[in-house]
Amino acid sequence: MPTKKKVVLSFLGTTLDAGISNKRWDRWRPTIAMVQHKAFRVDRLELLHQERFTQLAEQIKTDIEEESPKTKVNLHCIDFRDPWDFEEVYSTMFDVVKEYSFKPDTEEYYMNITTGTHVQQICSFLLTEAHFVPGRLLQLSPPKMEDRGKDAGTFSIIDLDLSRYDVIAQRFALQTQESLTFLKSGINTKNKSFNLLIEHIEKVAIASSAPMLLMGPTGAGKSQLAKRIYQLKREQRRVQGAFVEVNCATLRGDAAMSTLFGHKKGAFTGAMNDREGLLRSADGGVLFLDEIGELGSDEQAMLLRALEEKCFYPVGSDKEVYSDFQLIAGTNRDLRNDVLQQRFRDDLFARINLWSFDLPGLKQRTEDIEPNLEYELERFAEKNNLRARFNAEAKNIYLKYAKSAQAEWNANFRDLNASVTRMATLSVGGRITEEIVREEIIRLKKSWKNPSSPSGNTIELYLTEQQIEDLDLFDRMQLESVINVCLQSKTLAEAGRKLFGVTREKKANTNDTDRLSKFLRRFGLTWNSLHTIK
Ligand SMILES: Nc1ncnc2c1ncn2[C@@H]1O[C@H](COP(=O)(O)OP(=O)(O)OP(=O)(O)O)[C@@H](O)[C@H]1O
Ligand SMILES: [Mg+2]
């Protein structure tokens, strides 16, 4: 394959390249030194200069023709009014490189960052890093003082494709790993789709300031995640302002508008002073609107405008207020459905739905229960100064149930947190025993019980495996239902009335409690044994 031509884009060094007398050859002039390196043969130099330095540019061109006749020099006169003005330099250079016809198949490009003002050097770097200049950076350095005039000095080539640098790539990987762990509150979660979700969230949190929508059932961790996203952004210096949060379900009537957008003194009865409002407080930071689906329609309209224009009118004010915040919205409702039912504005939904993330409930990530259990014990220890631990068998029993289909985890992490708090509090000398776990499982079952659909398998808590094996399915199902009714009843009599209501009505048999007690006794159970925990 023929070697590619080396093409350098460079600014004329108005001080370092200067000189017309013969003495100039004794000095280190970077643009001349560039063509003197044997290991770096420049085929073409695109030399950028201001009009007032045309003469110097031509002088350099002539000197290069003498020093390295094979190097073709093209002069480009570009005029910056102020070569220290970032905006002007960047946009002018941007136009130049946009116009330039790069042929990367046959030529390789170098952006020389040795000459020019610092602003020009920074712009050269930015344009190369963004691949507007499809090449590498070139840095030239002078030789030692005593070698000036004899030696061209050194050169180095800097490739901005950072993935080529192992150490940097590793640091990036480490940084990303730290961010992911941070978003997961340090919990070593195993569920693949949850981990993937967090990876996406991390990328978006770092790269975007567009609204984010966190969806998921109650207690799935939306509020906690919103706060962590903010902390991550702040740590990475993506935001400077505050984290402002409000649950929209608590905003009602006139107060809703004023809480969010502020008001002017005297705007309504009771408005004794100006009020800033949460949107304004979040300027430069993050506004977390939890339960956004609960927002009234007027507030939705105002919010949309505030997001699009970064401006809004406080209640009773004709002066617009500016606020530039990032919105994170939380919802456990199906907002799409709310849009269809016209309960939520479709234009606002479209605006906040750019990055939407669906947090799974605990039941969808049972492999994460164990690491979360450890996390909750840790949190309990921090709060209460008591480090509780499971006995090995106790932990097995708890996890087996926690991961089973019967464990409903309706309130997700809230349930887990409450459950661990109870067990740790009841622990004896910090030991969570089998007995404590069994009692806790009963409590959980009770708390999740839906009277219209008795959840099966309560039976396992009261009978041994052998006893269950010895039961016919018929007896088993019957016992299961009876136990469920007992657990939902305050007294044996109440349970009896529920279970034998029809025969009692017909007065065929009125002693319900006796019937129930006898039934339970057939399986070695009593009312009290079902109600060791109240
Ligand atoms: N990943 C997690 N691991 C363990 N505990 C968590 C996790 N995320 C949240 N929690 C804890 O669970 C509880 C509920 O979390 P959070 O308030 O964030 O839920 P939510 O999804 O916002 O619920 P809601 O919809 O009711 O507002 C909190 O005590 C929180 O600290
Ligand atoms: Mg919440």
375 Cβ below 6 A of ligand 1:
yes
Among 290, 413, 415, residue to substitute to test ligand 1 (most atoms within 8 Å of Cβ) = 413
Q: What does the pLDDT look like over 141-178, one tens digit per residue?
A: 999 888 777 788 999 999 887 666 677 767 777 778 88
Question: Which helix (H) or strand (E) element contains residue 416?
Answer: helix 413-426
- Residue pLDDT, tens place only, 499-523: 988 888 887 777 888 999 999 998 8
d(CA 306, CA 262) in angstroms, rounded, equals: 13
Is the beta carbon of 433 within 6 A of some atom in ligand 1?
A: no
pLDDT over threshold 70, residue 427: yes
The pLDDT value given to residue 270: 74
How far apart are alpha carbons 409 and 420 in whole angstroms?
13
Share of the chain above pLDDT 70, in %: 96
Write out pLDDT tens, residues 432-467.
Answer: 999 999 999 999 998 887 544 444 467 777 887 778
Measured CA to CA, the distance from residue 168 to residue 266 in angstroms comes to: 58
- Residue 349 makes CB contacts below 8 A (sequence gap 6+) with 335, 336, 338, 339
Residues of the chain with CATH 1.10.8: 362-448
Domain 171-358: homologous superfamily in CATH: P-loop containing nucleotide triphosphate hydrolases (3.40.50.300)
187 ligand 1 Cβ < 6 A: yes
For residue 315, the SS3 value is strand
The confidence score (pLDDT) of residue 1 equals 63
| Residue with CA nearest ligand 1 atom 24 | 218
Burial class (CB in 10 A: 0-12, 13-18, 19+), 434: middle
The confidence score (pLDDT) of residue 155 equals 94
Q: How much distance in Å is there from the Cα of 334 to the middle of ligand 1?
A: 19
| H helix intervals, 310-364 | 335-340, 346-352
413 lines ligand 1 (CB under 6 A): yes
CATH number for the domain whose boundaries are 362-448 = 1.10.8
- 53 vs 484, which has greater pLDDT? 53
485, 498 Cβ separation under 8 angstroms: yes
Q: What average pLDDT does the chain have?
A: 89
Determine the pLDDT at residue 532. Answer: 64
Stronger pLDDT, 508 or 197, i.e. the higher one: 197
Residue 204: per-residue pLDDT:
94
Instruction: Verify whether ligand 1 is closer than 6 Å to residue 290 (CB atom).
Output: yes
Confidence of residue 533 (pLDDT cuts 50, 70, 90): very low
Over residues 47-96, the pLDDT tens digits come to 999 999 999 999 999 999 999 999 999 999 998 888 899 999 999 999 99
Every domain of the chain with CATH number 3.40.50.10770 lies at 5-160
The more confidently predicted of residues 241 and 164 is 241
* Cα 223 to ligand 2 centre (Å): 4
Kindly provide the b/e burial profile for residues 56-94, where b requires at least 16 CB atoms within 10 angstroms of the residue's own CB: bbebbbebbeeebeebbbeeeeeebeebeeeebbbebbe
For residue 276, what are its two tokens?
């800033």
* Closest atom of ligand 1 relative to the 413 alpha carbon: 12
Topology of the domain covering 5-160: Rossmann fold (3.40.50)
| 403 Cα–ligand 1 center, Å | 19
* Helices assigned H by DSSP within 184-321: 192-207, 222-235, 253-261, 278-281, 297-309
Q: What is the pLDDT of residue 453?
A: 41
pLDDT for res 402: 95
